[in-house]
Structure formats: structure tokens, C-alpha cells
Amino acid sequence: MDKFSLDITTLRRLYLNGELTPRKLVDNLLAQHDDSDNPIWIHRLSPAELYRYADALVGKDMATLPLYGIPFAIKDNVDLADAPTTAACPEFAFLPERSASVVQRLIDAGAIPLGKTNLDQFATGLNGTRSPYGACRNAFNPDYISGGSSSGSAVAVATGQASFSLGTDTAGSGRVPAAFNNLVGHKPTLGYLSSSGLLPACRSLDTISIFALTAEDAEQVLAVAAGFDEADPYSRSVQGHGFDFGRAKAFHFGVPRAEQLQFFGNEETKRLFGEAVSRLQALGGEALEIDFAPFLEAARLLYEGPWVAERYVALKDFFDNQADQIFPPVRDIIAGASRFSAADAFAGQYRLRALKQKADRVWDTIDCLITPTAGTLYPIAAMQADPIRLNSNLGYYTNFMNLLDYAATAVPAGFQADGLPFGITLAAPAHQDAPLLHLAARMQAAAATPLGATGLPQPEHAALNPLPSGQVQIAVVGAHLSGLPLNWQLTSRKGRLIRSTCTAPCYRFYALPDGKRPGLIRMEEGGAAIKCEVWELPASEFGSFVAGIPAPLGIGKLELVDGSTVNGFICEGIGITGARDITGFGGWQAYLQQKAGN
């Protein structure tokens, strides 16, 4: 076959058309790459193992397997049964009998694991050079860092060796490598992806993350991988996200003050970030300047505060007995745990809570936040010459995210003049994963970047909805319309106007005897289209709204002029006794205007 993209949309099309089978895909993957000069992989599955996964899909119904035949890579601090987990430390290696919960979910959905990828040892670093297996090289220029700690996971996808990959993210490890290799990198809401089978770095902050060629792919993988796991005490159930600012025609986004932005002397990334902000405005976003100071102060807590001690807790026995086997910069960071006491841990928690209160105020006025993912990108030689300071620079925009319990998506945003990629990050409070990914998809399409380093174009974007919205739509025809006396009952419940439209032409409309409300009755014949508004409410607010509706009105299914149905106001037949038929006015506001004129 000719070269084809490994994005999920393309692969599913090829499978459905009969142009590709999982076994042929494995043939293709085995034949196409020799990465001996770039240590992307620590352990690759043998051809026999890969064919065994592919052959297990024979005769299976693709409709029941959302990731049928989709190949993926796994960061080597996440377990795959019968493959060694090393965390990039050969002396630490062990052979797990079971796969991590997330890995097993993906395999059960039809995905094919390819192997374990290189990383900054024990997931400590953002640059990809801290591994005894070698520094993983950037997919666009081998002289530059790949980003870390999920270095191999990102480069495997960017170079067309996997459709998606699992990384982990404590301080930015699932986002920085995405930016440096022209990928989407999604850091989910903490707890959405089980940490069972993950070797932790900071257990209270870690999450498995997703690298993908497109935002749609990342959302599909997230929908499969997410789910509550009793075996993980930090696990959370996926909640409805509320207002989908990612698909809204108008939304608000925050931008740090100009003096709080940091590009570390790189004028190219500064230019590209300005273009990304303009792109977001062109999609309907209104930019609001925010104070980034509490975010930055929270970020400093990660390595200057007691959370460093969590890294020691995760490796205590190994560190106490074999510290000399640990990569020097990693060993130095973990050794720093000794300077913190239990009192320091509590003081750090108190300070973090205060900073979160300050940072969270921005969500009263904005739906999401945009920042660079990293201010600049360094050569490997420069990073190895100054590993602590330059690594710290890479975390300027990322270190706060898990501490503050936010979700984030790194998105490709263009290329520097030297051909190196640049990415931005969209962030929002916990549970806003779907809107972030929807907005990321629009940003990715608008930037028109190729897929990773493959040079292949983006596939046609599709409006997928694999994650729950947590929203309920309701059509209103009377006093709840915009500007009318009861509209506050919607807005006070965080309701948002979706669109103004009309019902299907099968209703009669009446002014009820109290003169304050209309009633809508469906007719078999003789009906007309009535003007209405469709509003969206959080599902958690819907019950209280309905409870306040007095008889003879109620909520039922209302047919709209486009043939769709939504929840909407209807009237019991008995309610129109003594009512005035006002169908001819076409809507409640027109009737009120006529009434006022008289």
C-alpha cells in the first residue's frame, strides 16, 4: 500500500473499506522504520506478539470495538503484561503479570500495543535527555530535545510509528513533548484515567496522558480509557462538562499579562503565540487579560516545595539501597526530599489552597486559558550543559496544572523559521476535557499543521461526542424568553442561549387566562410554527427548574422546525379552557407587543 496516516479516522476507513487488516497493519509497521539512531523504544513487542494481538481481532465486529486495530505505544512507567517495566532504569526493572487498568481498557477496545517507550528516568524531567538508554531526539531536528519525560511516547507518534501513545503528566510531561513534536497532548482531569499499574512520580498529582495526531483521536482514546477504578484511591468518575465552549460561536479566554509571558529570548515563539491568540479570536473567542501570578507561584511549589518528597516515597526502597544506579540529575532532585519535614508538607498544602482560591477566580470571567506550552525549545547539548535551569524554564507554563486540578490540552500552533514546531496549551477547570478537546480540534484545523513529523495532512474533522456533556437543552416559548420576566430562572442556573428558532408547524399557541403565560398544544392538523429559544442548562440544575413550573404547563418533547426534538414547554389540554388562541402572532413577544400597543 501507499503511505497512509495512522490517525484513527483514516485507519477505520481503511478497515471498513477492506483495504487494510490488522495483520497487514502490523506488516507495514514492522517494515517501515529503523530508529537505531534515536532511542525511542526501550522494549518492542516481537512480531509474533504483535501478530497475536492482530489475529485476535479476526471476526470481531468493528462497531463494538472503538479502537479496532489501532496501534499504540506505552511509556515505560506504565505496565504492559509480560513486558518489562523499567522506568528507564535497568536495575529497577520488573515483569508485571497484569497490564495497567488503562492499558487493558484500550486492548479490550481493540487497540494493539506495540511496546514500551523511553522517558526521563522515573518520569523526572521535561526534556527527554535523562535516560541511560540515550537522549531521545526531536522528530524534526535530531540536535534538539524531544521534551520529556514522555519523550519516546511523543516521538513514536510524531514519526508515524503509532497512532497514539500513553505518557504520564505530573509537571508537563504529557504536554511539552507534544509541543516539541507537533502533536496533540491531552492531560486529563486528575483521576479520569486510573493510575493502577502506573509507577508514580508524585502519586497525588500524576495522571496518565494521551499523545495523538489529532484532538479528535485524543478524545476517542480518552472516552475508552477513562472510568472509575476501585483499585485506585485517586480515581474519579467522568462528569458532564457543562457549557461546551469548544464548539460555541462565542466564548471568553484568558491570556496572561504581557509582562508575565516568558519566551526566554525566543522571538519566534513570541510571534507564533501572538498568531495563536489571533486565531482563537477568529474562532469567536474574546480575549481577557488575567493575572498569571498565582499560577506561577503555584508552579514553583512543585520543585521548591514538599511535593519533591513524593518522588522519594515512590522509590524509597530502591533509592535507599541503589541510589548510585539513578541518573545524576534525577538522583539529585529526589535526594532533595530530605530537606522537607511533615510540617513543611502541611505548610505547602495550606499555601497551595490559598493560591488555588486566587487562581480559580479567573474562571468567573473566562471559559479557558491559553498559554504557550513552553516558551522555547533547546538543543540537546545546551540542555545537558545546564540541565536544571533549562529544564525549569520548560515548566514555566506547565508545573501548576495538576497542583491546581485543571485539565489541559497541548495543540500544534505552527513552526519557527528554523522548522521547529511550536505549541500552545488550552486549560480549564477539572471535568472540562471535552470542551478543551473540541476547541483544540478547531485550533488545529485553523493552523493547518501536518500530522506530527509525517508531512501528511490532517484528515477531515468530525464533531464527535464520546464524552458526556452533563447538559440539558430546553425550548422556551413564553416568559422565559430573553428579556422577559422569568428569564432569570435560566440565567441564575448557568443557562446559556443556544439558538433562536421555531417549532415545527404543528402547534397552536394560546394566551392562558392569567395573561402572564402562553400554552403550546400539539395538533394533528391546523398547526403553525411558533418562535422559541433553545437554552442549555447543567443537568444538575434541570430538576429544580422543572419543579418550579406551575400547572397546566409542563416539560415534554418539542419538535423544532429542523426536525429535531428537545425538551420544551407544553400545556395540558385542560389548561386552554378560557384561553385566547394567539397562534396568528407567531410567538409570545409579538403578542405582548400588540397587547402593549392596545
- Residue 78 C-alpha cell reads as 506504565
Question: 447, 463, 483 — which closes off a domain?
Answer: 447
- Residue 54 C-alpha cell reads as 492482530
| Whether 515 and 416 share a structural domain | no
**Which range marks the domain in which residue 433 is found?**
8-447
Q: How far apart are CA 478 and CA 589, in angstroms?
A: 8
| Whether 86 and 39 share a structural domain | yes
| Whether 433 and 484 share a structural domain | no
Q: pTM of the prediction?
A: 0.88
Question: 412, 447, 482 — which closes off a domain?
Answer: 447
What pLDDT score does 33 carry?
66
- Residue 252 C-alpha cell reads as 471568553
For 234-237, the CB contacts below 8 A with 24+ separation are 234/190, 234/191, 234/195, 234/203, 234/204, 235/191, 235/194, 235/195, 236/189, 236/190, 236/191, 236/192
DSSP assigned state of 583: G
| Whether 502 and 430 share a structural domain | no
What pLDDT score does 1 carry?
58
CA quadruple 309, 313, 319, 325: dihedral, nearest 10 = -80
Domain assignment of residue 460, yes or no: no
Numbers of helices and strands, H then E, in the chain: 19, 19
| Whether 426 and 546 share a structural domain | no
| Whether 14 and 121 share a structural domain | yes
Could you tell me how far CA 1 lies from the centroid of its own chain? 33
What pLDDT score does 526 carry?
93
What pLDDT score does 451 carry?
98
What pLDDT score does 539 carry?
86
In DSSP terms, which residues pair with 496 in a beta bridge? 536
HSE of 142 in the Cβ direction (CA atoms, 13 Å)? 8
Q: How far apart are CA 545 and CA 388, in angstroms?
A: 55
3-state SS, one letter per residue, for 414-445: EECCCCCEEEEEEEEECCCHHHHHHHHHHHHH
Domain assignment of residue 269, yes or no: yes
Q: What does each C-alpha distance from 273 to 1, 263, 266, 348, 361 come to in angstroms? A: 39, 10, 11, 32, 24
| Whether 189 and 292 share a structural domain | yes
For 265-274, how does the pLDDT look when each residue is reduced to its tens digit (9 = 90+)?
999 999 999 9
Q: How far apart are CA 468 and CA 533, in angstroms?
A: 23
Whichever domain contains 61, its CATH number is: 3.90.1300.10
| Whether 345 and 383 share a structural domain | yes
- Give the count of beta carbons closer than 10 Å to the beta carbon of residue 529: 18
Domain assignment of residue 457, yes or no: no
Helical residues (DSSP H) of 97-168, grouped into ranges: 101-108, 151-158
- Residue 498 C-alpha cell reads as 443556544
Q: How far apart are CA 134 and CA 63, in angstroms?
A: 41
Please enumerate in sequence order all residues whose Cβ is within 8 A of that of 374, keeping only pairs 6 or more positions apart, or say none.
Answer: 126, 147, 172, 176, 179, 180, 393, 394, 396, 397, 398, 423
Residue appearing with cell numbers 484545523: 445
Domain assignment of residue 459, yes or no: no
Q: Is 321 helix (H, G, I), strand (E, B) or coil?
A: helix
| Whether 94 and 236 share a structural domain | yes
Residue appearing with cell numbers 422556551: 476
Nearest to 171 by CA among 377, 432, 429, 396: 396
Alpha-carbon torsion (181, 186, 190, 195), positive or negative: negative
| Whether 155 and 262 share a structural domain | yes
Domain assignment of residue 3, yes or no: no
| Whether 203 and 328 share a structural domain | yes
Q: What's the chain's average pLDDT?
A: 95
Q: How far apart are CA 456 and CA 419, in angstroms?
A: 16
Q: How far apart are CA 321 and CA 304, in angstroms?
A: 25
Whichever domain contains 547, its CATH number is: 3.10.490.10
Domain assignment of residue 37, yes or no: yes
Could you tell me how far CA 224 lies from the centroid of its own chain? 13
Q: What does each C-alpha distance from 562 to 491, 547, 559, 567 come to in angstroms? A: 25, 29, 8, 15
| Whether 435 and 477 share a structural domain | no
Domain assignment of residue 388, yes or no: yes
What pLDDT score does 35 carry?
59
Domain assignment of residue 2, yes or no: no
Alpha-carbon torsion (155, 158, 163, 168), positive or negative: positive
Q: How far apart are CA 301 and CA 352, in angstroms?
A: 8
Q: What does each C-alpha distance from 359 to 163, 405, 464 come to in angstroms? A: 35, 11, 31
Instruction: Output the tens digit of pLDDT for each of the chain's 598 residues.
Output: 568 999 999 999 999 999 999 999 999 999 986 656 899 999 999 999 999 999 999 999 999 999 999 999 999 999 999 999 999 999 999 999 999 999 999 999 999 999 999 999 999 999 999 999 999 999 999 999 999 999 999 999 999 999 999 999 999 999 999 999 999 999 999 999 999 999 999 999 999 999 999 999 999 999 999 999 999 999 999 988 888 999 999 999 999 999 999 999 999 999 999 999 999 999 999 999 999 999 999 999 998 889 999 999 999 999 999 999 998 989 998 998 889 999 999 999 999 999 999 999 999 999 999 999 999 999 999 999 999 999 999 999 999 999 999 999 999 999 999 999 999 999 999 999 999 999 999 999 999 999 999 999 999 887 777 888 888 999 999 999 999 999 999 999 989 898 999 999 999 999 999 889 999 999 999 999 999 999 999 888 999 999 999 999 999 999 999 999 999 999 998 889 999 999 999 999 999 999 888 6
Q: Which residues does the annotation mark as catalytic?
A: 75, 149, 173
Domains identified in the chain, total number: 2
